[in-house]
Structure 1
Amino acid sequence: MGSSWLILGVILLSSQVVRSQRVRVLPEVEAYPNESVNLRCEFTNPGSTKLTQVSWIFEATEGHRENIAVFHPTYGESFPKSAFKGRVQFTQASLEYPSIRIDSVRMSDAGRYTCEYATYPSGNEQGTTTLIMLAKPKNSATPVVVQAGSAKVVVARCEALQGKPAATVTWVTGAMGEYNSTSQAESDGTVTVKSEYRMAPASTDNGRDITCMISQRTQDRPQTFPMKLVVQYPPTVRIEGYDNNWYMGRTDASLTCHADANPKVVDFTWTTLSGNLPATAKVDQNRLLVQKVDESVNTTFICEAKNSLGSGKSQLTAAVIAHVVTLGGQRSHDVCLGIIACHRLKVRNMFVGNILLQRSGAPPPPLLPSHECVHWRKKYH
């Protein structure tokens, strides 16, 4: 008895499959908002089956069925009141080919469309098409201006607005950070995806490359947004230009103050440890020009650079040497220990030991009167 019921069930199921296969429709159709879309339907091989009526039924969600178009061979076409009223029509007035066209499709039109035949004597037969509504997202990306610090902050944003299906956002960068993406369903059925890249920005990250990549079904390829991080920080300062050859009377000595900063430095200030600059030193923006080397430039110079976030300083001590001498045909100079200068007018009867660069280990020269400032000469081999 049990086997008989099983056989009967298989027969009925097979019959339903055969019948459903006679209603030919496309399984899926894609459309964009405001377009027109054709939903095809055809009853194949009716044989002795009598077709009495055909209806199109829309299901936005499972179980919620709504008649949107009906064709009867005697009473003709009818379109029940629905959201499709005035936008749906049959492309042919025929039971065998009751395809419909929907104009000005909306995102809310996405769902299942069933072409259902009333037949005799086999009963209802149907086929279902899923309408997939697509929407190209409005993509954009931008870096966020941040200040260097130890806390993690958002340094770049990427958005794919009102797309369907939802877009996928990924990031490509050498920065040491992480990203987080969120999705929000819109009232029209689209989805907005927003992504943020976070990190603890350092000054060295300023100008670093970062790229947002947005992938979505309506795009042929991922859309990329190359950017550079914008990290602001106060100046880091260094002084260059000192060559250990500031001899008395030199007229082309100079120092340059370099500052790494974002935003750019708006002001450079030159001073010394004692306060004022020597009379022979002149300032030209970030450069300090020494018009003539004398005893007064035997000092420590300070450069301060400022931007809107703060300031940075660097200092350099210059040691003035007395005279240039020629050793073995080569121009050289005496290197003084500390800061040694010839005080011809200020110091009398004092002795200054001039310490020379020596290769051969010769004994230092005898102490000489400072007003002579005589230099030991030694021939180098």
Structure 2
Amino acid sequence: MLPSYHRSYLGQQGRVALFHLVCSITGVWGSQVMVPQRVNAVLGKNVTLECRVEVGTNLTLTQSSWERRLPSGSVTVAVYNPRYGISIPPEYIHRLFFRSPSSYDATIVLGNVGFADVGIYTCKVATFPLGNTQASTTVNVLVEPKVYVSAGSTALIDGGNDTVVATCIAERARPPAEVSWESNLFGQSEVQLFDEANGTTSTQVSYLWQPTRHVQGHTLTCVVRHPALQSDFRIPYQLNVQFAPDISVIGYDGDWFVGRENAQMTCKANANPPANHFRWIRLDSEMPEWMERMNSTLLFLRPLQRNDSGVYRCEVANDINLRSRDVRILIQDQSQAERSNSIVVAGAVMGAVLALFLIAVFIIVILTARKAPPPVFADKVIDLPPTHKPPPPYSERAPAIPLGVHASQVAWLCQPRRADRRPVLTDRQLPPPTTRLGPPAQSPTQQLSRLQWVCHQSGTDRVYINHREHYV
């Protein structure tokens, strides 16, 4: 059993500890050390270890320090005492310092970080009369990747098979870098990882694509993401697609005519690599001596003639292949402007002739209509007695044939005669007159003219009888 004085001492110590605990909770005598839980340091660069100190109003900061935990134990790497100053061990004196030491800031900066600096660091704060307060952070060393792009081992040839265009490499990164290609082409990526020393990894991403000349000069972009990088690392890569010459001929505009001077044709070639050979030839005959070939241009040294018409070929070659383009030239007798003027004049003449023809036809039609004979009665028309309409005036009636005249007599009377003889009928040959109502009897001369009218109107067996003359 303990003596009474010893029991009283323990009771007093318990009351003091409880008082200190209450003060810490209420913040009267409490102090607090705040550090980040984890800090990433980049190999070869500086890293900042934050340590903020909050000291109670009734406490006094006596000292702040940093310790590093090693397998053999903890070692002090930096000490700040408001009265005695700063103390740093020799092994850290050249690459560790306090950023802005005070009673509220114990932050240090560690420079030229290496793999040996990985571990746990503790910020300790000593106050009076409370004692020590501490907090720990873990330092992890990142290795920033070395990024570059290399071209594929095979040249990109237009129309070839799938080829490695380029490879993006993020070398010796910790942790492994994220590498990708940005492109609007229909290619594909292949990723490879390689373990390196000190826990680093190299990442290679190759871009495969089937080359075509239409995207010559376009750009791919290698994108690398890593915690040690403040932002995405981007490297552009320009495509270099090789292709045979693509040829076009300028100079011949389709309006080459006899007598034209200074005519020439030039062969243009789009090629990669550039064209190194040009040649002009004529396919349908030998090339005349007065035609001069100057690099890619064919010059006509005299005015054009009809025999210059023909087929000309331009040949262009580069390191990939040889290509050619044929041009058929036709030399006209006149220029296009002269031919257009001739067509306009011919059209105007034809229009004037057509207008005159239409006017003449119109005049002829009008004159013919004015001289047209009166209408002729229809064949074998018999005018029956009127029943619903009044008889026409006497002046409109056609001369009638007496009913006593037989059709055979009419036919005999109408037989053709010589031109100087005319049919004459005597009183004996005429049938006896029939009593009828109507106008008075006519003389033989009037009867003869009536018969002549009948013969003229009848033609072949055409007889017109007006029964209204004999209807009783």
TMscore range, shorter length: 0.5 to 0.7
Opposite residue 245 of structure 1, the aligned amino acid is: D
Opposite residue 252 of structure 1, the aligned amino acid is: N
Partners of 1:195 and 1:203 lie apart in 2 by: 24
Does the 8 Å CA contact 1:37/1:105 hold for their aligned counterparts? no
Say whether 1:259 aligns with 2:304.
Answer: no
Does the 8 Å CA contact 1:143/1:230 hold for their aligned counterparts? no
Give the stretch that moved more between structures: 308-317 or 280-289: 280-289
SS at match of 2:198: coil
Q: Which has more strand, going by share of residues?
A: 1
Change (3 A) 1:56 1:224: closer
Partners of 1:128 and 1:325 lie apart in 2 by: 96
Partners of 1:100 and 1:318 lie apart in 2 by: 86
Say whether 1:293 aligns with 2:300.
Answer: no
Change (3 A) 1:115 1:221: closer
Partners of 1:180 and 1:289 lie apart in 2 by: 54
Partners of 1:297 and 1:90 lie apart in 2 by: 90
- 2:75 aligned to 43, 65, 69, which one? 69
Instruction: Give the structure 2 partner of residue 332 of structure 1.
Output: 339
Instruction: Give the structure 2 partner of residue 74 of structure 1.
Output: none
Give the stretch that moved more between structures: 207-216 or 183-192: 183-192
Instruction: Give the structure 2 partner of residue 378 of structure 1.
Output: 346
Say whether 1:279 aligns with 2:289.
Answer: yes
Change (3 A) 1:282 1:312: same
Q: Deviations over 1:14-51 (max 9, x none)?
A: xxxxxxxx997642122233647759799x99xxxxxx
**How big is the shift at 1:128?**
5.5
The structure whose RCO (Cα within 8 Å, separation 6+) is larger is 1
Partners of 2:160 and 2:196 lie apart in 1 by: 36
SS at match of 1:332: helix
Say whether 1:134 aligns with 2:127.
Answer: no
Partners of 2:253 and 2:108 lie apart in 1 by: 88
Partners of 1:90 and 1:168 lie apart in 2 by: 32
Unaligned 5+ segments in structure 1 are: 1-21, 46-53, 59-64, 72-84, 93-97, 117-125, 335-356, 360-376
Give the stretch that moved more between structures: 263-272 or 234-243: 234-243
RMSD over aligned Cα, in angstroms? 4.4
SS at match of 1:248: coil
- 1:307 aligned to 314, 318, 321, which one? 318
**How big is the shift at 1:146?**
1.8
Say whether 1:319 aligns with 2:315.
Answer: no
Q: Deviations over 1:84-138 (max 9, x none)?
A: x95699999xxxxx9999775323543556899xxxxxxxxx9763212123322
Does the 8 Å CA contact 2:67/2:123 hold for their aligned counterparts? yes
| 1:127-276 equivalent positions in 2, closer than 5 A | 129-144=137-152, 145-274=155-284, 276=286
Partners of 2:256 and 2:96 lie apart in 1 by: 98
Change (3 A) 1:38 1:246: closer
Q: Which has more helix, going by share of residues?
A: 2
Q: Deviations over 1:277-334 (max 9, x none)?
A: 233322222222223312442211001111111111110111122x2279xxx52289
Partners of 1:104 and 1:247 lie apart in 2 by: 83
Larger Rg computed on CA atoms:
2
Opposite residue 170 of structure 1, the aligned amino acid is: S
Say whether 1:30 aligns with 2:36.
Answer: no
Partners of 1:250 and 1:36 lie apart in 2 by: 82
Opposite residue 174 of structure 2, the aligned amino acid is: K
Partners of 2:320 and 2:335 lie apart in 1 by: 48
Partners of 2:193 and 2:50 lie apart in 1 by: 31
Relative to the length of structure 1, the TM-score reads 0.59
Change (3 A) 1:128 1:191: farther
Partners of 2:235 and 2:200 lie apart in 1 by: 22
Give the stretch that moved more between structures: 31-40 or 219-228: 31-40
Change (3 A) 1:295 1:223: same
Unaligned 5+ segments in structure 2 are: 1-31, 57-65, 78-89, 99-105, 125-133, 352-472
**How big is the shift at 1:191?**
2.9
Change (3 A) 1:109 1:152: farther
Instruction: Give the structure 1 partner of residue 115 of structure 2.
Output: 107
**How big is the shift at 1:237?**
1.7
**How big is the shift at 1:201?**
0.6
Change (3 A) 1:101 1:155: closer
Percent of pairs identical after alignment? 23
**How big is the shift at 1:231?**
0.4
Partners of 1:169 and 1:26 lie apart in 2 by: 29
Partners of 1:201 and 1:240 lie apart in 2 by: 29
Change (3 A) 1:316 1:333: farther
Partners of 1:320 and 1:55 lie apart in 2 by: 98
